[in-house]
Amino acid sequence: MFTHTDFRNRYDAFWKKRAHSMVPPIPLVPQNDPTTLFTGSGMQQLVPYLLGEPHPLGKRLYNVQPCLRSQDIEEIGDNRHTTFFEMVGNWSLGDYFKDEQIEFVFDFFTNKTYGLGLDPNRLYVSVFSGSGNDGIAEDETSIAKWKALFAGVNIEAKHVRLFDEETGGKLGMQGGRIFSYNAKKNWWSRAGVPENMPPGEPGGPDTECFYLFPSVPHDTKYGENCHPNCDCGRFIEIGNSVFMQFKKNADGSFSELPKPNVDFGGGLERLLAAVNDTPDVFMTDLYMPILETIESVSGREYADETNKKAFRIIADHIKGAIMLITMDIFPSNKEQGYVVRRMLRRSIWYGRHYLNIGENFLEKLVDPVVAIYGEVYPEAAREAEKTRKVLNDEETRFRRNLEKGMHEVPKIAARYQREHGSGGTGNTMAKTATGRMLFFIYESYGFPPDLTVAMLEDKGWSFDKNFEEDFQNAKKAHQDKSRAGAEGKFKGGLADNSEQVLRYHTATHLLHQALFDVLGAEVKQEGSNITGERLRFDFRAATRPTPEQIAEVERIVNEKISAGIPVQFQMMPKEKAEKVGAKSFFKEKYPETVKVYYIGTTLEDAYSKEFCGGPHVANTREIGSLTITKIEKIGSNVFRLYAQ
C-alpha cells in the first residue's frame, strides 16, 4: 500500500526540486478571521499574497494544510466526502502561469518515478467555457496545453462542451477527455461567478482534474448521463488549478492582471485513494486503523455494506473532533465547540443505533488517530490523555441525555406543535409530528431524526404524511444557508481589509505587549478574533487580572496610540526574529523566513515586535483609542478580553 507518509515525501521532493518553498500550515481555527469557523483550504492563509503582498518565502510555494468544512457534515457517509481533510497546494505569485502549472500537475499525477504514477487513461479534466455576458473567452490556453500533454502519452484528448448550446441540456461523455463547464463550475473568485464580483475584485478560470474508477457504476439518480463532474462517485475530483488572471473594472468589464497568480489545491485523501486504486478514501492508511478499532469494539465488519455509512461517519468525525480538542476546542453549544459536540454526538448515535455499541467507545479511537498522525501532528500525541478524558466525559453525558430524551423529546414535540401547529400540511390531528418538527429537534437538541421517530412512536405519536420530505427540505434549506454564509463571508486572513479591522488588528499587538508588561512574562496569546465592531483577544495568565491591572493595560495601550508610533515590518530569518524578542502565537508553525511587524522607529527600540503577516495601519495614531469592555475566564488560566 502506498501510504500517506510515502505521499508526503514524494510531494515534498517534487516541489522542492522545482524551486518551491514549503509554507507551514496554519491552525484549524484561523486567527483574526471571524467570518469562518475553521481553516477550509490551503490558500486561506495566502489570500493577502495572492492579492499583491510579498511573501517572505518568495514567489513559488507549496504546502499541506489540515482543513475542516463543517458545512459538509451531512454529506459524510459516501466513499469520498469528509469534514476533516488535508489539502495539498502549490502557488505561483506572479511567476509561472498556465502552461507550466498544467505541466507540473500532469507530471506529478502520472510520472511513475517521482510522481504518483496514475494512469493517464483514467485522467479527465475540465476547463472554463467562457462567459459571454462579461466578455471573458473560453480558456483556450488550458485546452491546448492539456491536448498536448495527453498526446505526449499517446492519448487523443477530445474537447467537448457539457451543455448543449441550443437546449442547455446536459450531455454525456461524448468520447471526451477535456470538458468545458460554465462559471458555476470552473471559475473562482471570493465573490463567486463573474457577475457577482465587485469592482476591483480579482478572479479567474480554473481547470479541474478527475480520476475515473471504472468499477463504480453510474447511478442515474444523478442524471441520465455521467460526466466528470457527476456526483455518482464514478469520477472523483483530485485537483484544481485556479488561474487568478482578471480584475473586474468599475464598468463591469474585466482587465488582465499585470502579474497573474496560480493557486492549486488537491485533497490528500482522494489522491491517496487514487494511487491505491480504490474509489473509497476510507480504504487507505489514513482511516484503516480507525476502522479496525471500530470493528473491534462493535463486532461488525466494515466490508458489510450495511455498516459502511456508520463506520465512515464515526471515522471522519472522531478524527476532526480529536484534532480540534488538541487545540483546546471543547464540546459546547457555541461556534467551534458546537461543531465538536455535534460530531461526537453523531458518532455516538451511529455507533449505538447502527453498530449496537452499548458502552463508551470514543476514547478507544484516540490511539489509532495518534498512530496515523503522530509524526505529522505530534501535538495529537502530547494531548492524548486530555483528549481521552474530554471524549469520555462527553460520551457519558450524551448517553445519559439519550436515556433522558426518551422522556423529554415527546414534551419538546408537544410544545413545538402548540407553538407551530401542524407545519402547514393541513393535518391537525393531535400528537402528529412533522418533518420541520423533527428538524427543529435535531438541530436544537442533537437528536437524529430516526431516534426522535422511535421515541415519539413509543409515546403514541403519528407522523404527517409528508414528514420525511419536509425534514429533507428543512435540512437542505439550512445547509444552503450555511454554505452561502461560508462562501459569501470567506475572505481568508483578516475578515476584511477595512480601516477599522486594520486598526483593531494593530491594537492587538499593543494589547499583547501591555498585558505582558502588567501581568508578567507568563502571558501567552491563545488566539484573537476581529470584526469591524470589536476585537477579541485570548491569553493565558497565572491568575485572573484585577480591575486595576486591566485599567493599567488600557492606559498603556492608549498612551502608545496617542504617541503616534510608526508601524513597520522586516523580513528576517526566524532565528533572528526570536533573538530580537519578537512574540509569536505558540500554536502557529512558522517558516524559516518570517515577517516581523514592529511598533517603533527602529526594530531595536520598538515597543512591540510580533511574527505577523499583516496588514496593519501605518501609525498607531490611526487607531484612535481603545476601551476594554469585558474580560471573562474561558478555561484553566485562559482569559478572553473584548475591546472597542
Residues 485 and 510 in one domain: no
Largest interatomic CA distance in the chain: 77
Q: Would you tell me the crossing angle of helices 435-445 and 467-489 to the nearest 10 degrees?
A: 50
Say if residue 615 is preceded by a cis peptide, omega within 30 of 0. Answer: yes
Residues 25 and 116 in one domain: yes
DSSP code per residue over 363-409: GGGHHHHHHHHTTT-THHHHTHHHHHHHHHHHHHHHHHHHHHHHHHH
Total structural domains in the chain? Answer: 4
Instruction: Quickly tell me which residue has 461556534 as its cell.
Output: 335
Residues 306 and 385 in one domain: yes
Residue 129, domain member (yes or no): yes
Residue 407, domain member (yes or no): no
Torsion, CA 524, CA 609, CA 326, CA 382, rounded to 10: -80
Q: Output the nine-digit C-alpha cell for 457.
A: 412512536
Residue 62, domain member (yes or no): yes
Residues 391 and 438 in one domain: no
pLDDT at 228 over 50: yes
Give residue 490's pLDDT.
Answer: 37
Residues 528 and 619 in one domain: yes
pLDDT at 489 over 50: no
Going by pLDDT thresholds of 50, 70 and 90, the confidence category of residue 586 is: low
Give residue 332's pLDDT.
Answer: 86
Residue 219, domain member (yes or no): yes
CA distance 399 to 381: 27
Residues 241 and 127 in one domain: yes
List residues bridging with 619 in a β-sheet: 566
* H or E segment to which residue 317 belongs: helix 305-326
Give residue 166's pLDDT.
Answer: 56
Residues 484 and 387 in one domain: no
Residues 461 and 370 in one domain: no
Give residue 133's pLDDT.
Answer: 72
Residue 292, domain member (yes or no): no
Domain boundary among 491, 514, 533: 491
Tell me the per-residue pLDDT of 390-440, one tens digit each, with 9 for 90 and over. 999 999 998 887 777 777 888 888 888 888 875 444 444 578 888 888 888
Tell me the per-residue pLDDT of 120-131, one tens digit each, with 9 for 90 and over. 999 999 999 988
Give residue 310's pLDDT.
Answer: 95
Residues 271 and 341 in one domain: no
pLDDT at 162 over 80: no
Which CATH number does the domain housing residue 222 bear? 3.30.930.10
Residues 269 and 315 in one domain: no
Going by pLDDT thresholds of 50, 70 and 90, the confidence category of residue 335 is: confident
Residue 294, domain member (yes or no): no
Residue 500 CB-density burial (10 A; 0-12 exposed, 13-18 middle, 19+ buried)? middle
Domain range enclosing 355 = 299-398
Residues 8 and 131 in one domain: yes
Residues 265 and 389 in one domain: no
Domain boundary among 240, 275, 310: 275
